[in-house]
Structure 1
Amino acid sequence: MPSTPLISVVVPCYDEEAVLERTHRRLTAVLRRLPDCAHEVVYVDDGSRDGTWRTLASVTGGDPAVRLLRLTRNFGHQQAILAGLRAAAGDAVVTMDADLQDPPELIPELVERWRAGWSVVSARRTSRAGESRFKVVTAHVYYRLLAALADQPVALDTGDFRLLDRSVVRLLAELPEGEPYLRGSVCWAGFPETSVAYERLPRPAGRSKYSLRKMADLSRRGLVSCSPAPARAPAVIGLTWLGGAAMTVAVRRHRLPLAAWTFGCEAVLLGLLGEYLRLVHRELRGRPPYVLLERHPPQPGGQPAGPVPAPDGTVRPLAVARGAQDRAAQ
C-alpha cells in the first residue's frame, strides 16, 4: 500500500440539484480529515433534467481534486457508477449516492477497514429512515430471496455504498457487460469482504428517483445475473406437475387427460432450453473463469511474490487474471 494512498469517491447524480451543495460540503470536509491520504471526487451527471450540471460546476469551483463527468442521457444508476469507476484513479474507490442518505462521515471507517487488509468494505443498512413501509419490506424480502436463490454469496442489506480496492475496481471496469449489476459482480468476484453497519438517513432535500419500475428492473437484473432459478423454473414446475400426475394415477387410479401429461413434458423441455440459454448468457457476459488472488512465485515483469499480510492477518489481492492470460504465463 502506498504511504499516502489516493482515495477516490464516485458520486452518481440524477436530478440532485437541491442537495448537491450540502453533499459536496460534507464530503470534502470528511475527505480532508483523512489521515495520510490524498483524495479525489468524481461526480457523474447521469443525464439530469434539472440544473445538476450547472450546480456541480458552481459548487466545485474548479477544485483540482474534483472531476466531473456528464453522460449524454440517463443510462441508469449502475451504468453511472461504472463510468465513475473507470475514471477514478484511487488506490481505493468509495461509491455513494448524492442524496446524503449514505453519510460521508462513514468513509473514514471504510478506509480504516481497507487499510487493515480488506478488499471490499460494504456499508450494511440496519435501518432505512424516511422510506416507505412498502420499500423497506420489499427490500428485506428481496435480498433474502436473492441470497437463497443465487449461486454465489450475496451480501444482505447492502446497496452501492462501499469501498473497493483498486484490484476490484480494475476487474469491474474490464467486465464487458452492457447491463451491469455491480452489487452482484462484487460478490461474484470473491475478494475478501467485510461490512460496516450504519443507519440510512432520510434525504434532506429532493425526492427519490427510484420509481417502482426502476426498482423492479434492478431486482430483475440482480435475479437474472446472480441466480439460475429463472431458467430452471420451467423444469422444476414440469417435474413437479408430472410427479403429481403420476401420484394421482397410482393412488387414486384415475386416468388423466393427455393435456395434463403434455403440459408437464413441455415445461421440462422449456427448462432444458432455459439451461442452454443460461449457458449462452454466461458466455456472452464475457466474465473471466476465475479471479486470481495471489501468485507464488511472481510473474516475470516485477509483480510481487505475494500479498503483504495486514496487522490482522488478512491479505489484499495483487492481481486479476483471465484464464487465457494464466495459461499463456504457464
Structure 2
Amino acid sequence: MKKVTVVSSCFNEVENLEQLWERIKAVFAKHPEYGFELIIADNYSTDGSRDLLRKMAAKDKRLKVILNSNNFGHIRSPYNAFLQADGDAVIIMCSDLQEPPEMIERFLEEWEKGTKVVCAVKPESKESPLMFMVRRFYYWLIGKVSDTPQLHNFTGFGLYDKQFVEAIKRFHEPYPYFRGLVAEIGFSRVEVPFIQEKRRFGRSKNNFFTLYDLAMTGFVNHTKLPLRLAVFCGFVLAFLSLLAAFGYLVYKLLYWDTFQLGLAPLVIGLFFFSAVQLIFIGILGEYIGAIWTQVKNKPLAIEEEKINFDK
C-alpha cells in the first residue's frame, strides 16, 4: 500500500483545523488503496489551536502534530514539517481551507500516471482583485528575471513524489523560497488549475512585511539581475551626467553673460541621484542579508512537542 503524507502548518487557525482534517479523511475514504497521514506544524498559536490539535491527535494516530516552541514564520515552519514527511508522495497545503482538500484526488490521478510533481496553480481567485493583480504582476516579473523559468500563480500547493523530497533535502536551505526550488529541481511536472476560495474563518496572517519578505526572498535566491542592473544604471547615469555637464559648458561659453544655471537643476539632480543610490544600497542589503542568513545556518524551527511520531 502506498503511503501519502499531507503536510500543513497553522497559526491561530482553531476554527479551520477540524474541518481540514475531516475533509482530508473524506477524500482518502474514497481511496482505501492508500495509507495516509497528516503532519501539521503549529507555529505557537495562542487561540486554542494547540489544545485542539492535542485532542484531535489523541483520537487518531494518523494525525501527527509538531508544536513549535515559538513562531518561526510562514516559511521555516512548514518547510521543517515537509522535510519530516516520509510518504511515497507528500502533499503540501495551507490550513485556512482556501486550498480545497478535494484537489488531492486530482493530484493522485496525475501521480499515478508517473508525474513526479503536481502543482496546483490559481488562474482565478476569490480574494481581493487588487491583491490578485499584484500577485500576477510579481509572478510575471520574477519569471522574466529569474535564472530558471518560474511557475506562475503557484504557492506550493501540490503533490511531490518521494524522489523529489529526497532531492530537495540536498539543498540545506535555512530560509527557502519553496516554489523557486520546485522550478529549479525539475522532474516531470504537471500544472492543475483551481480557483482559490475566500477565507471562511479567521484572518489572514500575511501582511505587507511578510509578503515583501517572501517576494524579496524569491528575487535574491533566483536572480542576480538587480545587482547587475545597479552597475548598468551607474554607467548610464554617469554618461548622461557627463553629457549634461558638457552641454552646460558649451552653452555657458556661447552665452557667457546671459546664461544662468540656477539652483533647481542642482537640487533635482542631487535628490534623484541620492534616491537611486539608496534603492541600490537597499538591494545590495537584501543580498547581504541572504548571505548572513545562510552563514548563521539556524535550525528551521525548534520543536517543543511532537505527537504521534515514532520514537
Counterpart mapping for 1:243-254 below 5 A: 243-245=239-241, 248=244, 254=250
- Whether 2:90 is the aligned partner of 1:109: answer no
- Higher alpha-carbon deviation: 152-161 or 78-87: 78-87
Instruction: Check the 8 A contact 2:151/2:183 in 1, yes or no.
Output: yes
Which structure is larger by alpha-carbon Rg, 1 or 2?
Answer: 2
Per-residue deviation, 1:34: 2.4
Of the three residues 12, 17, 25, the one matched with 1:15 is: 12
Q: How many residues align?
A: 282
Structure 2: how far apart are the matches of 1:282 and 1:203? 32
Counterpart mapping for 1:20-35 below 5 A: 20-34=17-31
Per-residue deviation, 1:124: 0.4
SS in 1 for 2:158: strand
Change (3 A) 1:249 1:190: farther
Deviations 1:262-311 (A, max 9, x none): xxxxxxxxxxx99x99999999998xxxxxxxxxxxxxxxxxxxxxxxxx
TM (norm. structure 1) is 0.74
SS in 2 for 1:87: coil
Per-residue deviation, 1:133: 3.1
Instruction: Check the 8 A contact 1:44/1:71 in 2, yes or no.
Output: yes
Of the three residues 133, 138, 153, the one matched with 2:129 is: 133
Unaligned regions of 5+ residues in structure 2, if any?
A: 253-280, 295-311
Structure 2: how far apart are the matches of 1:9 and 1:77? 17
Instruction: Check the 8 A contact 2:89/2:162 in 1, yes or no.
Output: yes
Change (3 A) 1:207 1:111: same
Identity score, percent: 28
- Whether 2:236 is the aligned partner of 1:240: answer yes
- Whether 2:139 is the aligned partner of 1:146: answer no
Instruction: Check the 8 A contact 1:249/1:255 in 2, yes or no.
Output: no
- Whether 2:40 is the aligned partner of 1:38: answer no
- Whether 2:173 is the aligned partner of 1:180: answer no
Instruction: Check the 8 A contact 1:9/1:41 in 2, yes or no.
Output: yes
> Runs of 4 or more off by more than 4 Å in structure 1?
246-256, 276-286
Question: What is the letter of the counterpart of residue 107 of structure 1?
Answer: I
- Whether 2:79 is the aligned partner of 1:82: answer yes
Question: What is the letter of the counterpart of residue 194 of structure 2?
Answer: Y
Per-residue deviation, 1:155: 0.1
Name the counterpart of 2:115: 118
Name the counterpart of 1:206: 202
Structure 2: how far apart are the matches of 1:107 and 1:34? 11
Structure 2: how far apart are the matches of 1:112 and 1:89? 20
Structure 1: how far apart are the matches of 2:186 and 2:247? 49
Change (3 A) 1:40 1:246: same
SS in 2 for 1:112: helix
Per-residue deviation, 1:33: 1.7
Instruction: Work out which structure has the larger RCO, using CA pairs closer than 8 Å and 6 or more positions apart in sequence.
Output: 2
Deviations 1:65-84 (A, max 9, x none): 22111111111122122121
Deviations 1:114-144 (A, max 9, x none): 1212211110002221x22332121111111
Deviations 1:16-49 (A, max 9, x none): 0011111111111112222521111101111212
Question: What is the letter of the counterpart of residue 43 of structure 1?
Answer: I
Considering only aligned residues, what root-mean-square deviation do their CA atoms show, in Å? 3.6
